[in-house]
Amino acid sequence: MSGHSTYEPKTGIERWLDVRLPILRFANDTVVTFPTPKNLNYWYTFGGILALMLGIQIVTGIVLAMHYVPHVDMAFNSVQRIKRDVNYGWLIQGMHANGASMFFLAVYVHMFRGLYYGSYKAPREVLWILGCVIYLVMIITAFMGYVLPWGQMSFHGAVVITNLIGALPVVGPAITTWLWGGFAVDDATLNRFFSLHYLLPFVIAGVVALHIWALHVPGNSNPKGVEVKSEADTVPFHPYYTVKDGFAISVFLLLYAAFVFFAPDALGDAVNYVKANPLVTPAHIVPEWYLLPFYAILRALPNKLLGVIAMFGAIATLFVLPWLDTSKVRSMRYRPAIRLWYFIFFIDCIVLGFCGAHAPDDLVIPGVSGLQLGDANLNSFVWLSRFAATFYFAYFWVITPLMGLTETPLKVPESISEPVLSHPASAPMGAMASPEKRG
Amino acid sequence: MADTVVGATPDPHASGEDPSRRDFIHIAAGAAAIGAVGGLVWPLIDQMNPAGDTLALASIEFDLGKVEPGQQVVVKWRGKPLFVRHRTPAQIAAAIKDDHADLRDPQTDEERHKAGKAEWLILVGTCTHLGCVPTVGGGDYGGWFCPCHGSVYDTSGRIRKGPAPKNLEVPTYAFLSDSKIKVG
Ligand code: HEM
Ligand code: FES
């Protein structure tokens, strides 16, 4: 899409097509000869995994839509019928349900990769923002998809999330009614969620196209964070990264298959095997695992509107990250000071996930009664999520800008190839300056 | 325009390019296009609001005779649960006692039931936090407890603890007779 094209049509048909629709040239420049930094590690294979997962969700989803009935009286049974009676329905439904989890797993790895290697820094801000848009649309799509089987958790999850919007002053209630198409989550809601759940993955596919376009203008970043200086720093995408991505995809598919075949319900909630009943709320409402950290942030605040603002703020923060980071050094390999904070941030996200999975008043350390602080017990998940949510925001809004100004980064290599040849730590054993010192 | 001397001074009007007429046509065309798009977008947005038949089905009648003192019956109204609670004298007294307590959404018990019908509490059964259905009899005040995020309501349905901002909503309803109400 950018730079020179090395494509040379070989046959007459290819030449004929090339001056009419240069689609083969495009494919060649994108996935065959595309010059790619030669030092990409396995953390860089998740983009390809994500593309595959999107494809799987679309294909399995279209098949499910052939058997699914979007009606409050029939939706639950139609999904059970798919699982039990439709030929291979168990497989296709299992792939779709677990596929969403795997999709999120991959996107989180992909995003944490971007955070660590500073992939969001100039000139890749637009690339990063498009990624954040994809993530946001993924969340909306997954949320609407989860409503479709019309189990208890589907229904009451939808009630809770749509009510969040009601927290907005003045317009909130009108928007909620508009979303519902009635006075409560009901048939109208289910139908429009189905329609949108079908549509949005194609929107994602469109944004992915932009995302990859924006990737191919500056090219990939890489673990060293230095830009490609010469052709010596790159290898053609094929066969080097098609094979590397292919291997990573195979390993990833093993994990995916383990869930689909051996533990298809492990990631779901048993309560969703009970048909939706608007008159009885399950004792404990929790979203799917991949949304738990945001749910914890929502509940951390005692005020409904503030909770909603904090939750959306947690996602909005990602969009502005390129302008919060004041450091010119891209990769955290050369930023030991912030690297520590980065790992704490990672753990913080997991802690938030735990908080989201527990009832707010549950004790963090069982048996310790703890002391009352403000409206809740200090040993309860409410307070833990408050601390963790504070750290979440502090990491982006305080630590990231301050570290860039105060830290002393390590020496950044001149080029991608340079440290391979001269840096003792990364040189092969035989080339060690004084190998005898290595016991 | 008729008496313009062609060629003497370069006159923009001469070639028919009257700037103000052009601007007018541009603005008018632009406004018409925006108006047309807006006129089309609104139906696309408004179709998602509750349909006519949904609005028409909005009221129900309920026979109170089925509810014993101390009991609550939950009926579906507008897709939501409606609480019909037959309060005992002790529960009514507890509610009145707290009329002037430190309430988040101050209301007296009197304002929350029909005059002379203190035993009947008719409420929309969705928590004002995020819409879960609170369980009857739970919480420190013997009213309702919401399992979702721990909101506690008293025997008047007023919010006493937890994240919910408002009291349980009292719907529009009327007594058709001593034992029959019409809600909505
Ligand atoms: C459906 C979801 C997504 C797909 C299919 C996708 C696909 C890809 C692909 C194929 C690449 C190139 C290979 C790689 O570097 O891993 C890439 C790069 C990238 N993606 Fe995504 N992506 C998705 C979501 C996201 C999200 C949610 C973010 C962050 C918020 C993001 C941020 C980036 C960045 C910053 C790069 C450039 C990486 C670099 O070269 O350093 N992507 N994406
Ligand atoms: S919905 Fe009742 S406390 Fe949140």
A360–B78 C-beta distance less than 8 A: no
Q: What angle do CA A157, A158, A162 make, to 5 degrees?
A: 120
B chain contacts of residue A303, beta-carbon cutoff 8 Å: 163, 165
| CATH classification of the domain holding B72 | 2.102.10.10
Residue A145 CB less than 6 A away from ligand 1: no
B chain contacts of residue A185, beta-carbon cutoff 8 Å: 79
The Cβ-side half-sphere exposure at A83, using a 13 Å CA radius, reads 15
Give domain status of residue B5, yes or no.
no
Residues A239 and A224 in one domain: yes
**Range ranked top by mean pLDDT from A39-48, B60-69, B112-121, B122-131:** A39-48
Give domain status of residue A360, yes or no.
yes
Give domain status of residue B86, yes or no.
yes
Q: Which ligand is nearest to the CA of A208?
A: 1
Full residue range of the structural domain in which residue A306 is found: 292-407
Identity of the residue numbered A29:
D
| CATH classification of the domain holding A375 | 1.10.287
Give domain status of residue A384, yes or no.
yes
Summarize the confidence of residues B174-183 as an average pLDDT.
92
Residues B39 and B116 in one domain: no
The ipTM is 0.77
Residue B129 CA to ligand 2 center (angstroms) comes to: 5
Residues A242 and A297 in one domain: no
Residue with CA at minimum distance from ligand 1 atom 16: A47
Summarize the confidence of residues B82-88 as an average pLDDT.
95
Minimum-distance CB partner of B50 among A159, A183, A299: A183
**CB-based pocket (< 6 A), ligand 2:** B 127, 129-132, 146, 148-151, 162-164
Give domain status of residue B160, yes or no.
yes
Residues B62 and B44 in one domain: no
pLDDT at residue A418, rounded to an integer:
78
B chain contacts of residue A278, beta-carbon cutoff 8 Å: 76, 79-81, 133
A192–B125 C-beta distance less than 8 A: no
Residues whose CB falls within 8 Å of the CB of residue B99, separated by 6 or more in sequence, listed in order: B108, B109, B110
The answer to whether residue B4 scores a pLDDT higher than 80 is no
* Last residue of one domain, picked from the residues A285, A316, A348: A285
Residues B179 and B159 in one domain: yes
Residue with CA at minimum distance from ligand 1 atom 25: A131
B54–A278 C-beta distance less than 8 A: no
Residues B68 and B148 in one domain: yes
Full residue range of the structural domain in which residue B23 is found: 19-49
Which DSSP category does A32 fall into?
Answer: I
Q: What are the angstrom distances between the C-alpha of A268 and each of A146, A197, A237, A293, A296? A: 10, 19, 38, 17, 18
B chain contacts of residue A181, beta-carbon cutoff 8 Å: 48-51, 54
Residue A127 CB less than 6 A away from ligand 1: yes
The answer to whether residue B5 scores a pLDDT higher than 70 is no
Residues A183 and A303 in one domain: no
Minimum-distance CB partner of A302 among B48, B76, B163: B163
* Last residue of one domain, picked from the residues A241, A261, A285: A285
Of ligand 2's atoms, which has the minimum distance to the CA of residue A163?
1
Residue A439 CA to ligand 1 center (angstroms) comes to: 42
Q: Which ligand is nearest to the CA of A331?
A: 1
Query: Residue A211 class from Cβ within 10 Å (0-12 exposed, 13-18 middle, 19+ buried)?
Result: buried
Residues A228 and A320 in one domain: no
Q: Could you identify the residue written with the tokens 């002037």?
A: B100
Give domain status of residue B91, yes or no.
yes
Total domains in chain B come to 2
| Confidence label for B138 from pLDDT (cuts 50, 70 and 90) | confident
Are A167 and B40 contacting, i.e. CB atoms less than 8 angstroms apart? no
A162–B131 C-beta distance less than 8 A: yes
Residues A274 and A325 in one domain: no
Q: What are the angstrom distances between the C-alpha of B81 and each of A114, A202, A307, B118, B123? A: 46, 37, 25, 21, 9
B113 is known as an active-site residue: no
Minimum-distance CB partner of B147 among A178, A283, A307: A283
Residues B155 and B98 in one domain: yes
CA distance A10 to chain B (A): 49
B chain contacts of residue A160, beta-carbon cutoff 8 Å: 130-132, 148
pLDDT at residue B165, rounded to an integer:
87
- pTM summary value: 0.86
Residues A219 and A91 in one domain: yes
Total domains in chain A come to 2
A163–B129 C-beta distance less than 8 A: yes
Report the residue among A211, A242, A396 best suited for mutation to probe ligand 1: largest number of ligand atoms under 8 A from its CB. Answer: A211
- Tens of pLDDT, residues B18-52: 778 889 999 999 999 999 999 999 989 999 999 88
Give domain status of residue A394, yes or no.
yes
Residues B70 and B150 in one domain: yes
pLDDT tens, chain A, 439 aa long: 445 788 999 999 999 999 999 999 999 998 899 999 999 999 999 999 999 999 999 999 999 999 999 999 999 999 999 999 999 999 999 999 999 999 999 999 999 999 999 999 999 999 999 999 999 999 999 999 999 999 999 999 999 999 988 888 889 989 999 999 998 999 999 999 999 999 999 999 999 999 999 999 999 999 999 999 999 999 999 999 999 999 999 999 999 999 999 999 999 999 999 999 999 888 888 999 999 999 999 888 877 888 889 999 999 999 999 999 999 999 999 999 999 999 999 999 999 999 999 987 788 888 777 788 877 788 889 899 999 999 999 999 999 999 999 999 999 998 998 755 555 555 444 444 443 444 3
